[in-house]
Structure 1
Amino acid sequence: MAERDILVIPMTTIPSWAVLERRLFDTVEESWRVFAEKFTEADGRLRFDRGFEGSRDGVDDFYEAFFNWPAFYSLGGSREILDAAKHHWAGVTAQLTEAGMLTDEFENGYDWFHQGESLIFFYALCAADPLDAEFRERARRFAELYTDARGGNYDVESNTIAAPHNGARGLLDGLGPEWLSYPASQEYMRPYGLPLEYLPGISGWSDLEDPAKADAMGDAMQVVLGAGDVPINLASTSLVLNRWLYDGDEPSERWIARYVDGWRARAADNDGLIPDNVSPDGRAGGMHDGRWFGGHYGWTWPHGLLSVEMGALIGAMNAAFVTGDNSYLDLARTPLDTVLEHAITASVDDTPMSIQSGWQDRLGAASAEPALLVPHRFGKDGWFDFGPMPMSMPMWLWWFSREDADRERLDRVIAGSVESAIGFGPFRDKEEAGHERPWLAYLNGENPEYPEAALAGALGQVARRMALIEAEDPDIRTVHIHFWQQVNPVVTEVLTQLVAGAPQVLYNGGIPFAALSYEDADEGRQGLPADVAALVRSIDGECIRLELVNLSMTQTRRVIVRPGRFGERDIVSVTSSGEAGGDYPGPSPAYRSLPGEAVQQTVEIGAAECLIELPPNHRAELTLLTRPSGRRPAFTATGTAG
């Protein structure tokens, strides 16, 4: 279709949200350069000279410092930040290889709660520049660690990844390279309680003050928690899906469906609720004397719902995406429904939980108000560890499916929340998420000021990170490995919501889905063109309302709009708003131009994209009707930084 078929509107006033959005792009561009200059070496590695002291932990913390840089590029950031992201990926990879943490550029072996945190950086790089042959080859090689028997991670006969720690060196025994005791002196672990509840003579944390019992716990953890399949391994399906998006590799598609089917069958045998441990021979509960709970990063320890549901949700969405069968989502629906059945109403302040302080920091004074609290964990005494349900989980389920039942569940969680539906909470955690409620209220038409408040808040987040960068000058010999992610000034949550119409990526290994994606038609690259701001105003089933603004006073900008991120949807039609009979800009002696009569025009598209031409100082108000494309989803191979 010709771009002239889409109506545009001259602007007599400039939307404040558009000015703030472009200001945020400019501020992030300035800030990431300061971060890179201060904290990285010429080859891209982080300034750090300590070792990892024999631990398997730490790889994720180095990649996390840059996790959203390629995502920022894909939204409309500069080519320079994509080049920088690749440069730092290479530098950190070399750094970790020298430290003995990687083999052939992939993590030797660790749990997928942490590996997923590492790999969202990699997935975003692949999506941002799918024509980069080196990353394409890495995607294939990494996926084959699981889909190819030679990778040593996946057993076809039992349909398991039969160890919580797995990776480039296959299945690794235990929870670390050396045996460790588990003493009560680990105060930071006390809130999580006992890793194993059924050891003779150990019934409470104080029992671990006895060195012999601490040693017994450590021994048992290496054996019982350090073997067998666990739900967070489902995050490995993203590694395989990432490869599939390049070439539609059929064995990869079959592997995703088969591995997730194995977990679905185990859940079906447990009244629909996913168990958290599977012995190497494929028996659910086989690591815990038949009990469906107790596994590593499982229902009992340490995080319960946070880790079990994360694996179930990522695996379910990935399987549904490659097969087109949304019944896979039941694997993630049942855990949420189950904990909601056991919910209570109480305040966060008066209900001790393992991560209570984090919720208190986030909620502020509202932590004293009664709220819907769900049990996060299950142990020998039943459900426990009550706290607010992380909104990202029911939000992603509804966003992905757009089904009424998933929306009803989300609305129930929202109704029980004490988080404000208005404004933008002044916090930022490492996932750079948590503002789902006010965003959804905006999409519902209940929080019209959200774009301005959220963009202003995001600018404040960058300002605080820059102040921290200026104020803190850590000694590279002693710096904490979480430091760099804590001062990363690149922010993408608000831009992802407003520009792409999606929640922030699932942090423990999610694929970067989007409701809308863009291409600069003149520069031939992903993301919004210079001067252009975008605002997704609503998402209602197959309809998406979008506003585009060209803030340039001299340059016409042309932007290609696509539904989805991977060609999974088509645009059926575009309805645009305009004016008829106006005299913009009018004669020079007049005080102002006269507005025309409001008109609308609907154009049939029937294609994967449409081109919008925005003259200087014009905006477009669009309603896109979309539908599934029927094509195999794939990376959009347009616009590469080389």
Structure 2
Amino acid sequence: MPDSQPHSALVTIDTPLAPPRWALLQRQFLKVQAEACTEFYDKYFDGRGYLECVPRWGGDDGPDDAAENQLNWTMLHALGADDGILDLFRSGLEGHLRQYTEAKTVEVPMARDGMYYKEFPVSLDWFHHGEGLSPFLLYGLCDPYDANYIRRCRRFAGFYMDEDPQAPNYDPEHRIIRSMFNGSRGPLMRKATALDWTGDPIEVADRFALGHGERTYAEMLDHFREYTDIVGDHPLNLGATQLGLVAFAATGEEKYRQWLLEYVDAWVERTDDNGGIIPSNIGLDGTIGGETG
């Protein structure tokens, strides 16, 4: 009969071996990337961690674009860059949250009391939420036991789990997020306007080069003129599951996993019911296309 007792072996490696060239090049790449980020931070961030910019709301040049100036800095640290890059990210993150909590719109209704509330965008779509949150979501790879990070993970996920009465984004009965515009102040339950998407009027000519090629504020409005149908659930809202995932990873609490599966399963069922095509709208009553009639 085979021996059922476990075996152990001790292997001693005592012969030095020079690292391969590819490994040295990787380390050099991480080093120069971190140096470039440091130079960038010193030039474009002030002593408070605020980005040297014109803080604005909107899909063209809003808070998410400001946060993206530190895109992949947490990934860089997770891959092995020096701790200094993580310190700079922390400084920039705290500055960003304060800067855009203080920043207010004049004409856009939803952000007149601050573009951020409870350290999160007040209400916009998950294309932009996802862009702005990208480096934050990867922070757990760098410092998973950071109490402040865990606290934020819990709060942000709670916005989409019917835990915050000021943010009734999620309907647990129908397993929907109620609007394509959602956030820390809840869903926007009306048609969106070009102003909601674009932000307050701003001088463009001879001042800014906009990514969509607009030359005037009027052209910025025109870009979003038809982006109106936001009420009801949309597959873009699946981006919110990232918050449940990182909260589960950070805390191990089963409720975050259960919410994520509940919401994703609802979309799988709707897709099956729709002949394998992901619906572009789920009504407030849970029906496919319910808000498009």
TM-score category (smaller protein):
0.7 to 0.9
Contact 1:159/1:262 (8 A) holds in 2: yes
The CA distance in 2 between the partners of 1:153 and 1:122, in whole Å, is: 21
Q: CA deviation at 1:107?
A: 0.6
Structure 2 residue 22 is the aligned partner of structure 1 residue 17: yes
1:238–1:79 CA distance, 2 compared to 1 (3 A): same
The CA distance in 2 between the partners of 1:24 and 1:177, in whole Å, is: 43
- The counterpart of 1:232, out of the listed 224, 236, 240, is 236
1:252–1:179 CA distance, 2 compared to 1 (3 A): closer
The CA distance in 2 between the partners of 1:81 and 1:179, in whole Å, is: 35
Q: Which amino acid aligns with 1:174?
A: K
Q: CA deviation at 1:51?
A: 4.2
Contact 2:271/2:278 (8 A) holds in 1: yes
Q: CA deviation at 1:4?
A: 6.1
Contact 1:160/1:280 (8 A) holds in 2: yes
1:262–1:247 CA distance, 2 compared to 1 (3 A): same
The CA distance in 1 between the partners of 2:121 and 2:191, in whole Å, is: 16
1:98–1:221 CA distance, 2 compared to 1 (3 A): same
- TM-score of the two chains, using structure 1 as the length reference: 0.37
1:85–1:280 CA distance, 2 compared to 1 (3 A): same
The structure whose Rg is larger is: 1
Contact 1:70/1:125 (8 A) holds in 2: yes
The CA distance in 2 between the partners of 1:3 and 1:273, in whole Å, is: 55
The CA distance in 1 between the partners of 2:290 and 2:93, in whole Å, is: 39
1:165–1:8 CA distance, 2 compared to 1 (3 A): farther
Q: CA deviation at 1:35?
A: 0.7
Structure 2 residue 58 is the aligned partner of structure 1 residue 55: yes
Unaligned runs of 5+ in 1: 182-187, 191-213, 290-642
Other-structure match for 1:119:
133
Comparing both structures, which one devotes a greater share of its residues to strand?
1
- The counterpart of 2:191, out of the listed 154, 157, 174, is 174
- TM-score of the two chains, using structure 2 as the length reference: 0.78
The CA distance in 2 between the partners of 1:266 and 1:77, in whole Å, is: 43
Other-structure match for 1:271:
275
CA deviation profile, 1:330-354 (whole Å, cap 9, x unmatched)? xxxxxxxxxxxxxxxxxxxxxxxxx
Other-structure match for 1:5:
11
Within 5 Å, which residues of 2 pair with 1:22-421?
Answer: 22-48=27-53, 50-52=54-56, 55=58, 58-99=62-103, 100-149=114-163, 150=165, 151-172=167-188, 173-176=190-193, 178=195, 188=212, 218=225, 221-222=227-228, 225-289=229-293
Contact 1:63/1:92 (8 A) holds in 2: yes
Q: How many pairs align?
A: 254
The CA distance in 2 between the partners of 1:24 and 1:134, in whole Å, is: 30
Q: CA deviation at 1:247?
A: 2.0
1:70–1:221 CA distance, 2 compared to 1 (3 A): closer
Q: Percent identity?
A: 35
Q: CA deviation at 1:171?
A: 0.2
The CA distance in 2 between the partners of 1:120 and 1:61, in whole Å, is: 11
1:51–1:263 CA distance, 2 compared to 1 (3 A): same
The CA distance in 2 between the partners of 1:176 and 1:44, in whole Å, is: 32
The CA distance in 1 between the partners of 2:288 and 2:193, in whole Å, is: 24
1:144–1:267 CA distance, 2 compared to 1 (3 A): same
Comparing both structures, which one devotes a greater share of its residues to helix?
2
Contact 1:228/1:280 (8 A) holds in 2: yes
1:2–1:82 CA distance, 2 compared to 1 (3 A): farther
The CA distance in 1 between the partners of 2:50 and 2:10, in whole Å, is: 48
Contact 2:280/2:289 (8 A) holds in 1: yes
Unaligned runs of 5+ in 2: 1-6, 104-113, 199-211, 215-221
Q: CA deviation at 1:189?
A: 8.8
Contact 1:56/1:177 (8 A) holds in 2: no
Other-structure match for 1:516:
none
Contact 2:38/2:88 (8 A) holds in 1: no
1:257–1:56 CA distance, 2 compared to 1 (3 A): same
Q: CA deviation at 1:167?
A: 0.3
Q: CA deviation at 1:238?
A: 0.7
Contact 1:154/1:162 (8 A) holds in 2: yes
1:63–1:105 CA distance, 2 compared to 1 (3 A): same
The CA distance in 1 between the partners of 2:120 and 2:55, in whole Å, is: 18
CA deviation profile, 1:582-636 (whole Å, cap 9, x unmatched)? xxxxxxxxxxxxxxxxxxxxxxxxxxxxxxxxxxxxxxxxxxxxxxxxxxxxxxx
Contact 2:193/2:227 (8 A) holds in 1: no
- Alpha-carbon RMSD across the aligned residues, in angstroms, is 2.9
The CA distance in 1 between the partners of 2:80 and 2:10, in whole Å, is: 24
